[in-house]
Structures are given as structure tokens and as C-alpha cells.
Chains A and B, each alone.
Chain A
Amino acid sequence: MTISIRSVAKTFGRFPALNHVSLEIADGELLALLGPSGSGKTTLLRAIAGLEFPNEGQIFFGDQDMTYASAAARRVGFVFQQYALFRHMSVAKNIAFGLDVRKGRAKPSKAEIAAKVDELLGLVELSDLGKRYPNQLSGGQRQRVALARALAVDPSVLLLDEPFGALDATVRKSLRKEVRRIHDATGVTTIFVTHDQEEALELADRVAILKDGKIQQVGTPRQVHDEPADAFVAGFVGEANRIEGTVAAGRFSAGEVTIAAPDRPDGPAIAFVRPHQFVKGGAIPLAVRRATHQGPLVRIEGETASGLWLEAAFSRDQANGAGPGDAINLGIERAHIFSA
């Protein structure tokens, strides 16, 4: 199912949660809504689900206007941040609920429901736990049940609100792979909300980055990382040294740092340089203050004479044993420069 969001606006009281957001989601796509808290990403997800209704704009499922359709009419699968499992129902009953509430002809037979529940329990690898109750499950298991429950209605779109937010780091990682596997197995259009850029970049086909109720950029994980559309995206996605300076005659300069900026207008500007975009042996002298080893990489932090604090990442070979007290010279291979 393609989802088309056209100029959707939503305010809570006076607070504008969504400010005329437009977004197209292709059939079968796995899209991440990424942004800091208060950016409107959850509101957008809930508006797609029919749990929140916009003040303006339209939401299409295929070519059907669903803007004011009830949640029940949309056939979405929604996975809540805290899972919202029905605590007084067994796992199997939870998963069966969406089929069980159907009426008349649309309601599958008991045997069909049982078969579907078994199939879904298999899909999320919880085959033996159908009779358990939510409070007898671990966080990761609850998450899988919530996923299976949302998939039971054969949803036109699967929506996940901070799906890994409540889990500890190791469970997070394995469940991420799980969600990708289930998405690939079912082919259902999937949208998930996260504030964790690593999660968004690893899992999604495309990432939409929101700030203050507006979409800043939509693109593949590679695009948003390598070609950020604006200063916010450059700072939010991936690590970067943020250097404030000025552009004059096609050159950005700040202290010892100068970078070619041929297409930028003159005036104050901000340059973003990722740690791995530094090379050794350039024109920027750096007094090393700290060197930390992270697996094959060495992170070097230090200060220039003019007081710029820079952080660079090198392979061990390149770093060549540089440590606190040493002086090295840095060059910049690439940078993103935006007018301030």
C-alpha cells in the first residue's frame, strides 16, 4: 500500500506538532521517521494510524482519502511504544484479538484464527508461549507479541512507535534484525519512529528527518549521511565536528581551518566535518589531548592554537601511535558547509 501525506498540519492547543508535512511512502517500503523528541514524528505516525486527526491536509492510502477515517477502518497494524498488550489476555488471545472482533462473514472460523495465531507465533519465534500472559514475558518477547498482534489483521501498513525504546542494548540489536527479517518476509509497508539515528540508518530503506513539525530531509541512509540537506541534518545524523566560521569569496575559514566552499554565499557559516573525513598531513596543526582506541580505530581529540577543539578518527596505521602531548597536522578531505 502506498501512503501519501499531503500538507498535514496538527496543533495541540497552541503547540504546532506538525507544520504542513508532505511525504510519499512507496508500497513495501521500510521507512524511518527520525527526529529529536518534540519533532512531531510520533504525531505523524499516529495521524497515519487514525489515532490522531489532523487540522489540515490529507492522508491517502492508495488513492483513498483516509484523513478522517476511524482507526478501525484503516486496517493498520500499530505497535505501541510500551506495547499496550492486553494484560488480562494470553499471548494467543492478544494476537487473535484483531480477527476475533470482526463481525459476520468477515470473521474467520476458530480453526482459521488458531492457524493464523500459530503461524504468527512461528514468525516471531515464540511458538511455545501462546498460553503465557504478558507479565510472564521479557521485554523483547512482549515486543515480538506486539508485532505478531499487529500483523494478524494483514495490515495495509505496519506502524511502529519507538519499537525498541524500552529494551536494553543487546535485545535492541537482535530485534532490529528481526524486524527487518519480518518486513522482508511479509513485504508489508512499514513505518517506524525513532530518535536513534543508528537504528534508523541500519534498518530503514529511507529515512525522513523531522524537526519542529517539519520534514528536513527524506532520503536513503547513505543520502542523509553523506549529503545532508541542511545544518540540522548534518549535525543530527552521524558524528560531526561543528565549526562556526565565515565564508568569503568561496572559502570557509575559522581559525586555522580553511575549506573550499565554491557555491556558498558570503557571510557567517557552519562547517560539519565528520571524524573520518580528516586526513593526516594537512595544514591544521593540532595539539593532541586525548587518544582512545576503539577496535581498529583510534580517536584523536585535540586543540588548535586558536582554540578549536577537533575530533578525528584514524586507522591504527594512520594514527601511528600519536598520543597526548604530540603535535600532528590535519587536513580536511570533505566537509558540509551551510550558511548560518
Chain B
Amino acid sequence: MTAIDTTRPVAPARPPFFRRRSAVPGFALTLGLTIAVLSTVVLIPLFAVALKAGHQPPSEFLKEAFSARALAAYRLSFGAAFLAAAVNGVFGLVTAWALVRYEFPLKGLINGLIDLPFALPTAVAGIALTALYAETGWIGALAKPLGWKIAYTPLGVVVALTFIGLPFVVRTLEPVMRDLSADVEEAAATLGAGRIDTIRRVILPALMPAWLTGFALAFARGVGEYGSVIFIAGNMPYRSEIAPLLIIIQLEEYKYAGAAAIAVVMLGVSFAMLFVINAIQAWARRRA
């Protein structure tokens, strides 16, 4: 045993200049790189739009950002995105339930197919949906005798956004449903609850945060969606023109400030949605 003179005065410990935070190496390098790339590619360019929009007098900005045509475009983008998210909220819930709880033929195939909107380029989805829902298309022709016109109307926009948003609700609900253990339902049953009561009072409340998250994700994606919508929308000013398209039109007319003004409004909504989604998830974690 090597003796240590523990009585000798101990120099105050001086941490090295870069104090180690963690035993796992590479922190400074990877964090530095992450922040550098994130700033260059995402944050600084986004800041540029705000700067461009702010470069004009406020009255000018308001005029561009909230012109009658822009307002009509927001109404369509937000309204259609909301409706589509609601449609997906209902059918996505049912689909997730079927995928998690039931056994049926071709389940693996259908499960894979759910993610099609993530994998299929939006332009392809756009022309396909248009071909399908136009008056000459397979479904459009069926709807026509009922007096329904789908493609080239706001309804077409809802159809496209439903396609785009479908996986969000299903994929957010699925893991939560799977974790929802059978014993909770069995407990409800032993306490005398009927099946419908159990679903309504035990299962649905447990799924609420995930459902809201899925809804918000689908809505956020729908608001900004462009590729799948422009083919089916008809793009009539004041009627079937979405907000992203209005940005492009402004750009084509070299009205950069006007484009930036609309972009800033849309970015504001994006940030708000991000905040809402984070808040829902924080709420869900607290409840879990």
C-alpha cells in the first residue's frame, strides 16, 4: 500500500478551462456542428424573410399581408386544412383501432400502405387525385349526377389535404393504443362498465393527447401544402387559391416584399402550431 500524506495541504481543485461535461466524448464538436448547420440552413434564412417583410412600412406590410385576396387564400388554406385534419381525425382513429386491435387479411400490406403519402411525391399525388376526382375521373363521374363537383373547387383542396395528412393521425395514435394495456379495459369491465362505456370513458380520454397531436400535425402540414393541391384546386383568385400559391404568384410578379409578407403570416402560424404541439405533448407527458 502506497501511503498518501493526507495531511499535506490540498491545493484548491482547479477545473480545466474547458470543463468536461460528460464522459462520452465529442460533445463540443457535434453540438457546434449541429448549431452551425442549423443556423446556416434554417434559422438565418428564416430570419431573412422576417427582415425582408419588416423592411417596408408597417402599413405597406399590412396591406400586402392582409389584402382581400390574401385573406381569402388564408381562409381556404386554414379552413381546408382544418376540415381535412378533422376527416383524418375520425377515419384515422378508426383505422388505427383496426390496425392495433383486429386481425384481418392483408393487414401487413395495408399497414405499409398507410405511409404512402409520406413516400409518394406530392406532385404525383396531385395529378392522380385530380384525374380521379375530376368530372371525367372514376370518382368524379360518380359524384357528378349527385350535383357534386370535387376537383377545381375548395372541396378538391380538402381531398388533397386529407390524402397528405392521413398518416399523421394513424401513426401518432398507434403506439399509444398499443400501450393501452388490456387490463385497464378489463378493470373497467369488472367495475361493471359496458363496452361502449369503456370506450367512451376509459379508452378515448387516454387517447386524447395523441389524437390532438396527430390532428395538429396533419393541420400544420395541410396549411403549408402546395404540390398536391395546385393541380386539383383550380386556383381561382378569391375562391380556390391557397396561400402558398399566392406567394408564388407574387414572386413571379417580382413582388418580393408582398411574398415575404404572406410568408411571415404563414411562418407565424407554423410557430404557433409548433408551440401547440409541444404544449400538447408536455401535457401528455404530465398525464402519463
Do A and B have CB atoms closer than 8 angstroms in the complex? yes
Cβ-defined contact, B23 with A71, below 8 A: yes
Asked if A80 CB lies within 8 Å of chain B CBs, one says: no
A24 to B16, CA, bound (A): 24
Asked if A140 CB lies within 8 Å of chain B CBs, one says: no
Cβ-defined contact, A54 with B2, below 8 A: no
Across the interface, which residues of A come within 8 angstroms of B21, CB to CB? 53
Asked if B119 CB lies within 8 Å of chain A CBs, one says: no
Asked if A50 CB lies within 8 Å of chain B CBs, one says: yes
Least CB distance, A245 to chain B, in whole angstroms: 40
Nearest chain B residue, comparing its CB with the CB of A27: B1
Cβ-defined contact, B13 with A67, below 8 A: yes
Cβ-defined contact, A63 with B4, below 8 A: yes
Cβ-defined contact, A4 with B1, below 8 A: no
Contact check: which of A26, A57, A60, A70 meets B23 at CB < 8 Å?
A: A70
Contact check: which of B6, B10, B15 meets A68 at CB < 8 Å?
A: B15
Asked if A6 CB lies within 8 Å of chain B CBs, one says: yes
Residues 1-52 (chain B) with a chain A CB within 8 angstroms: 1-4, 6, 10, 13, 15-16, 19-21, 23, 25
Across the interface, which residues of A come within 8 angstroms of B13, CB to CB? 54, 56-58, 67
Across the interface, which residues of A come within 8 angstroms of B25, CB to CB? 70
Contact check: which of A46, A52, A68 meets B16 at CB < 8 Å?
A: A68
Cβ-defined contact, B4 with A60, below 8 A: yes
A55 to B20, CA, bound (A): 10
A2 to B20, CA, bound (A): 24
Across the interface, which residues of A come within 8 angstroms of B15, CB to CB? 53, 55, 68
**Given A7-B10, A57-B13, A67-B13, does the pair A24, B4 have CB atoms closer than 8 Å?**
yes
Asked if A219 CB lies within 8 Å of chain B CBs, one says: no
Least CB distance, B18 to chain A, in whole angstroms: 10
Across the interface, which residues of B come within 8 angstroms of A50, CB to CB? 23
Across the interface, which residues of A come within 8 angstroms of B20, CB to CB? 53, 68, 70
**Interface size on B (CB < 8 Å)?**
14
**Given A7-B10, A68-B16, does the pair A52, B23 have CB atoms closer than 8 Å?**
yes
A53 to B10, CA, bound (A): 18
Across the interface, which residues of B come within 8 angstroms of A7, CB to CB? 10
Across the interface, which residues of A come within 8 angstroms of B10, CB to CB? 6-7, 58
Q: Residue-by-residue, is A61-84 near B (CB-CB < 8 Å gives 1, otherwise 0)? A: 011000110110000000000000
A-B pairs under 8 A by CB, number = 44
Cβ-defined contact, B1 with A28, below 8 A: yes
**Given A58-B10, A58-B13, does the pair A68, B1 have CB atoms closer than 8 Å?**
no
Nearest chain A residue, comparing its CB with the CB of B11: A58
Nearest chain A residue, comparing its CB with the CB of B23: A51
Across the interface, which residues of A come within 8 angstroms of B6, CB to CB? 4, 6, 24
A242 to B25, CA, bound (A): 49
Across the interface, which residues of A come within 8 angstroms of B23, CB to CB? 46, 49-52, 70-71
**Given A50-B23, A53-B20, A54-B13, does the pair A62, B1 have CB atoms closer than 8 Å?**
no
Across the interface, which residues of B come within 8 angstroms of A58, CB to CB? 10, 13
A6 to B6, CA, bound (A): 9
A263 to B80, CA, bound (A): 84
Residue with the highest number of chain A CB atoms closer than 10 Å, among B6, B10, B25: B10
A28 to B2, CA, bound (A): 11
Q: Residue-by-residue, is B116-131 near A (CB-CB < 8 Å gives 1, otherwise 0)? A: 0000000000000000
Across the interface, which residues of B come within 8 angstroms of A53, CB to CB? 15, 19-21
Nearest chain A residue, comparing its CB with the CB of B16: A68
Q: Residue-by-residue, is A30-65 near B (CB-CB < 8 Å gives 1, otherwise 0)? A: 000000000000000010011111111110101100
Across the interface, which residues of A come within 8 angstroms of B1, CB to CB? 2, 26-28
A56 to B10, CA, bound (A): 12
Residues 269-315 (chain A) with a chain B CB within 8 angstroms: none
A331 to B21, CA, bound (A): 57
A46 to B20, CA, bound (A): 14
Across the interface, which residues of B come within 8 angstroms of A28, CB to CB? 1
**Given A54-B13, A57-B13, A58-B13, does the pair A68, B19 have CB atoms closer than 8 Å?**
yes
A163 to B198, CA, bound (A): 44
Across the interface, which residues of B come within 8 angstroms of A52, CB to CB? 23
Cβ-defined contact, A27 with B2, below 8 A: yes
A54 to B3, CA, bound (A): 24
Nearest chain A residue, comparing its CB with the CB of B12: A56
A49 to B4, CA, bound (A): 20
A49 to B22, CA, bound (A): 12
A137 to B1, CA, bound (A): 38
A2 to B5, CA, bound (A): 12
Across the interface, which residues of B come within 8 angstroms of A24, CB to CB? 4, 6
Least CB distance, A66 to chain B, in whole angstroms: 11
Least CB distance, A215 to chain B, in whole angstroms: 15
Least CB distance, A6 to chain B, in whole angstroms: 5
Least CB distance, A265 to chain B, in whole angstroms: 32
A6 to B1, CA, bound (A): 18
Cβ-defined contact, B4 with A2, below 8 A: yes
Least CB distance, A50 to chain B, in whole angstroms: 6
Q: Residue-by-residue, is A1-33 near B (CB-CB < 8 Å gives 1, otherwise 0)? A: 010101100000000000000001011100000
Apart from A27-B2, A70-B20, list 9 A-B contacts with CB within 8 A: A2-B1, A4-B6, A27-B1, A28-B1, A46-B23, A49-B23, A53-B19, A53-B21, A70-B23
Question: Would you list 10 pairs from A and B whose C-beta atoms are within 8 A, ordered by A residue?
Answer: A2-B2, A4-B6, A27-B2, A49-B23, A56-B13, A58-B10, A58-B13, A68-B16, A68-B20, A70-B25
Q: Name A residues whose Cβ lies closer than 8 Å to a Cβ of B.
A: 2, 4, 6-7, 24, 26-28, 46, 49-58, 60, 62-63, 67-68, 70-71
Return the 7 tightest CB-CB contacts between A and B, nearest first.
A27-B1, A51-B23, A71-B23, A53-B20, A58-B13, A4-B4, A68-B16
